[in-house]
Amino acid sequence: MMKHLGKGLLAGASCAALMVAMGSASSSFANDKLNELSKSNENWVMPGKNYSSQNYSPNTQINTENVKQLRAAWSFSTGLLHGHEGTPLVVNGVMYVHTSFPNNTFALDLNDPGHILWQHKPKQDPAARSVACCDLVNRGLAYWPGDGKVPALIIKTQLDGHLVALNAETGEEYWKVENGDIKVGQTLTQAPYVIKDLALVGSSGAELGVRGHTTAYNVKTGEQVWRVYATGPDNEVGLADDFNSANPHYGQKGLGTGTWEGDAWKIGGGTNWGWYAYDPETNLFHYGSGNPAPWNETMRPGDNKWTMTIWGRDADTGKAKFGYQKTPHDEWDYAGVNVMILSEQTDKAGKKRKLLTHPDRNGIVYTLDRENGDLVSANKLDDTVNWVKQVDLKTGLPVRDPEFGTRMDHKGKEICPSAMGYHNQGHDSYDPTKELFFMGINHICMDWEPFMLPYRAGQFFVGATLWMYPGPKGDRQNYLGLGQIKAYNAISGDYKWEKMERFSVWGGTLATAGNLVFYGTLDGFIKARNSDTGELLWKYKLPSGVIGHPMTYEHKGTQYVAIMYGVGGWPGVGLVFDLQDPTAGLGAVGAFKNLQNYTQMGGGLQVFSLDGKNPYNDLSVGEFDTKG
Amino acid sequence: MTKTIVTLAASAVILAVGAGVAGAYDGTKCKAAGVCWEPKPGYPEKVAGSKYDPKHNPAELAKQQKSLDDQAARNAKRSAHFQKTGKWVYDVSKIQ
């Protein structure tokens, strides 16, 4: 039965199961169950498929030999026009689809995907739209598998700052907490993340001076378990006693306030709205904190810790074992929130290590030992990166080129990457059999001119005017050649192959054991390349541009590939709001002024299979049946 | 613009580097571990009182934390009620 929910703020909840067993005895059970579910080709239980966030499927049914036979199987319109980032989840034969604002959620029966099992349509304060930084996107959902007493839950974020748990079977609201307040600029766009019986969620709004935080809630009760901040006193940042003991040169105590002037850390940004990864063996989860606020660097002297930091935090307490700041005293909005992909590889010295690889906005792809934060490699995403000459692996410090620094009373020119980064929020993939990362890249540079402005809670607090344009390898005359796709080895630092794209590869990639890498493009194609060579093997034109990442699942013996379309996000902000000033949209409008000639708005999901095989090949499926 | 290239010695102990190296900010001259920012030539070490003073209003700076504390207090009431009754009530004015 279809249920229309979210009619009011008073959320009814089924009683009996809720009143008992709010403890954490089953917490490891939830981990085990999610892990088990994630191993199946039939499931995609979190945005990166599993806790390692590899976006990799061992399924070989679709492969280099037959990918040309991929055809549309079925589709689903979300009914919304704005940008659709992220990817849907599939659990036990049900697909859960999220949308842009107002953040509707749909559950689809994969036996008959034309039948919406339930839908959750929250009523939000429309004012939330006015404090969203970059279109009205949302990056996805989390799934908690239930424990026999509390039902399985879908956890979602709303732009207005709420974190909501839904009964995965019925769509009813189970609990709903406030995790942000749009009146002071706090919003949510992130996909939440489940570890044990905790729902983790970050924060958005650094462009409004929001002080970033990460919070864990008990999935069974909605009770806050811990909260840590990116800036401020050590106890609020949540530093463990042995914080950075393996790398004291990264900095240790007292720097969350000591590297700021006065109370500037209170409005210092460092929000995190990107992707998380988790290692059940170390019990550490990893994510990146974002840019300091405001963008005008002259207004905030200091290293501005701990913005722009790769974290390794204990899942139970939130306490940080290590923190590595990639871009101290950011001058370019290289927000450090991008994907963290976990792998186990042998380093150059022959030592098997647990690694974390992170393609950063600042144009460097970092690989760290995720047990202690040791820097293993740090290479440029493209040889045109110019703000930094190199990253010193021993000190961890970027050696900046002062020519491309920014400051008041100065217009910086030809800075690469632009504020959008050479990589942004796209969820990339890793093929463990090839030890290759497949990365969607922006190829955009910029001019940057700061200006002074006061801080007023709930108002934009940026302080810079930007002009963006294609990087040196693009077509600057026609504003094309704004993206790349690359295959990268984090140990050797080599790129096995790379290809230019007309626009940014904004959404990320999917790798499969079929020797394939899939990704979507802003101009509305889904493409499949040979993951060994980069050869383009298949593509399909979607109704609108792509800013999310593909996923794959198997259902009743058939492998499907699914991708959300719906152009928007930061690169599409000019298109979706019909902006003309090239500096509008924080500089994106100029760079993507030609995007409107290749695609238009419209959100939905497109699913593919070999020869288009789908549940409706059985003509009786989905037909009206008087027997009910 | 003059480019000053500073090659950092291959040492994990970076703290002692620094004091006497003139030139633009390249991020490698550290006063202490993790403290490597320095003002760019012609720009102040502290902006308070300078032409770049953002003149932050303490009342504005306090608003975010006040809001978060208030949110957390309301959430605590909701969760406590939920654990007691099995019903999630969002509107805290309706929680006894």
Look over chain A and give the mean of its residue pLDDT values, rounded to a whole number.
95
Write the burial class of residue A402 (CB in 10 Å: 0-12 exposed, 13-18 middle, 19+ buried). buried
DSSP summary character for residue B32: B
Query: How far is residue A327's CA from residue A166's CA, in Å, rounded to a whole number?
Result: 38
pLDDT for the residue B11 = 38
Q: State yes or no: cis peptide before A454, omega within 30 of 0.
A: no
Lookup: tokens for A313: 């935090």
Contacts of B47 in chain A (CB under 8 A): 261, 298-301
Residue A546 · residue A556 · CB < 8 Å = no
CA of A7 to nearest chain B CA: how many angstroms apart? 13
What is the SS3 assignment for A90? strand
How many other β-carbons are positioned within 10 Å of the β-carbon of residue A210? 29
If phi over 0 gives left and psi between -120 and 50 gives alpha, with beta otherwise, what is residue B43? beta
Residue A330 · residue A307 · CB < 8 Å = yes
Do A250 and B34 make contact, defined as CB atoms within 8 angstroms? yes
Query: How far is residue A334's CA from residue A269's CA, in Å, rounded to a whole number?
Result: 12
Q: Pick the closest to residue B90 from A55, A164, A598, A191 (CA basis).
A: A164
Give the full edge-to-edge strand order of the sheet including A105-109: A4-5, A116-120, A105-109, A94-98, A89-91
Give the residue carrying structure tokens 């004012």: A127
Contacts of B26 in chain A (CB under 8 A): 399-402
pLDDT for the residue A625 = 82
Q: Pick the closest to residue A556 from A93, A118, A183 (CA basis).
A: A93
Comparing CB atoms, the residue among B37, B39, B65 nearest residue A303 is B37
Lookup: tokens for A353: 């290590």
Write the burial class of residue A465 (CB in 10 Å: 0-12 exposed, 13-18 middle, 19+ buried). middle
* pLDDT of residue A224 exceeding 70: yes
CA of B21 to nearest chain A CA: how many angstroms apart? 14
Give the residue carrying structure tokens 């489940």: A194
pLDDT for the residue A627 = 67
B43 touches chain A (CB under 8 A): yes
For range A124-135, the mean pLDDT: 94
pLDDT digits over A551-561, tens only? 999 999 999 99
Element (H, E) at A565: strand A558-565
Contacts of A175 in chain B (CB under 8 A): 78-79, 82, 88
User: Which of A211, A266, A461 is most worth mutating to test chain B (most B CB atoms within 10 A of its CB)?
Assistant: A266
Q: Pick the closest to residue A486 from A357, A595, A344 (CA basis).
A: A357
Residue partners of B8: CB distance under 8 A and separation at least 6: A392, A395, A397, A399, B14, B17, B28
B45 touches chain A (CB under 8 A): yes
What is the SS3 assignment for A564? strand
User: HSE on the CB side for A31, CA within 13 Å?
Assistant: 16
Question: CA A568, A569, A573 angle in degrees (round to 5)?
Answer: 70
CA distances from A39 to A49, A285, A554 (A): 9, 19, 12
What is the SS3 assignment for A551? strand
Q: Which pairing describes strands A4-5 and A116-120: parallel, antiparallel, or unpaired?
A: parallel
* pLDDT of residue A21 exceeding 50: no
Q: For residue A234, which amino acid is it?
A: D
Lookup: tokens for A531: 């993951």
Residue A192 · residue A222 · CB < 8 Å = no
Q: Pick the closest to residue A281 from A54, A31, A43, A40 (CA basis).
A: A31
Give the residue carrying structure tokens 């302080």: A463
Q: State yes or no: cis peptide before A126, omega within 30 of 0.
A: no
If phi over 0 gives left and psi between -120 and 50 gives alpha, with beta otherwise, what is residue A524? left
Strands (E), A40-152: 56-57, 70-77, 89-91, 94-98, 105-109, 116-120, 142-144
Query: How far is residue A142's CA from residue A192's CA, in Å, rounded to a whole number?
Result: 6
pLDDT digits over B49-60, tens only? 999 999 999 999
Q: For residue A450, which amino acid is it?
A: P
Do B37 and A267 make contact, defined as CB atoms within 8 angstroms? no
| Backbone φ and ψ of A578, nearest 5° | 55, 55
pLDDT for the residue A628 = 54
pLDDT digits over A131-187, tens only? 998 999 999 999 999 999 999 999 999 999 999 999 999 999 999 999 999 999 999
Lookup: tokens for A273: 């709205």
For range A345-349, the mean pLDDT: 96
Contacts of B21 in chain A (CB under 8 A): none
Q: Please, which residues bridge with residue A75 across strands?
A: A606
User: HSE on the CB side for B19, CA within 13 Å?
Assistant: 1
Do B82 and A389 make contact, defined as CB atoms within 8 angstroms? no
DSSP summary character for residue B72: H
Query: How far is residue A88's CA from residue A596's CA, in Å, rounded to a whole number?
Result: 26
Do A298 and B35 make contact, defined as CB atoms within 8 angstroms? no
Comparing CB atoms, the residue among A12, A22, A298 nearest residue B52 is A298
* pLDDT of residue A18 exceeding 90: no
Residue A256 · residue A243 · CB < 8 Å = no
Element (H, E) at A37: helix A27-39
CA of B50 to nearest chain A CA: how many angstroms apart? 10
B95 touches chain A (CB under 8 A): no
Residue A93 · residue A147 · CB < 8 Å = no
Integer-rounded Cα radius of gyration of chain B: 25
pLDDT band at residue A31 under the 50/70/90 scheme: confident
Measured over the CA atoms of residue A46, residue A47, residue A50 and residue A53, the dihedral's sign is negative
Q: Please, which residues bridge with residue A390 across strands?
A: A399
pLDDT band at residue A307 under the 50/70/90 scheme: very high
Least confident of A287-301, A543-557, B1-15, B25-39: B1-15
CA of A572 to nearest chain B CA: how many angstroms apart? 30
B49 touches chain A (CB under 8 A): no
Do B33 and A13 make contact, defined as CB atoms within 8 angstroms? no
pLDDT digits over A66-96, tens only? 999 999 999 999 999 999 999 999 999 999 9
Lookup: tokens for A164: 């909501």
Query: How far is residue A39's CA from residue A51's CA, in Å, rounded to a whole number?
Result: 10
User: Which of A397, A400, A409, A414 is most worth mutating to test chain B (most B CB atoms within 10 A of its CB)?
Assistant: A397
pLDDT for the residue A52 = 98
Percent of chain A predicted with pLDDT > 70:
95
For range A221-233, the mean pLDDT: 98
CA of B8 to nearest chain A CA: how many angstroms apart? 8
What is the SS3 assignment for A39? helix
Query: How far is residue A132's CA from residue B3's CA, in Å, rounded to a whole number?
Result: 39
pLDDT for the residue A197 = 96
pLDDT digits over B1-23, tens only? 333 333 333 333 333 333 333 46
Distance of CA A144 to the CA centre of its chain: 19
Query: How far is residue A129's CA from residue A462's CA, in Å, rounded to a whole number?
Result: 18
For range A358-363, the mean pLDDT: 98
What is the SS3 assignment for A343? strand
A333 as an active site residue: the answer is yes
What is the SS3 assignment for A365? strand
pLDDT digits over A572-584, tens only? 999 999 999 999 9
pLDDT for the residue A28 = 67
pLDDT for the residue B9 = 36
Do A267 and B67 make contact, defined as CB atoms within 8 angstroms? no
CA of B19 to nearest chain A CA: how many angstroms apart? 16
User: Which of B88, B89, B94 is most worth mutating to test chain A (most A CB atoms within 10 A of its CB)?
Assistant: B88
Residue partners of A477: CB distance under 8 A and separation at least 6: none
Q: For A213, name the nearest residue in chain B, comparing CA atoms only.
A: B68
What is the SS3 assignment for A608? strand
pLDDT for the residue A169 = 98
Lookup: tokens for A207: 């462009």
Query: How far is residue A609's CA from residue A43's CA, in Å, rounded to a whole number?
Result: 16
What is the SS3 assignment for B77? helix
pLDDT for the residue A473 = 98
Contacts of B8 in chain A (CB under 8 A): 392, 395, 397, 399
For range B56-73, the mean pLDDT: 98
Element (H, E) at B83: helix B63-85
pLDDT digits over A392-428, tens only? 999 999 999 999 999 999 999 999 999 999 999 999 9
Contacts of A270 in chain B (CB under 8 A): none
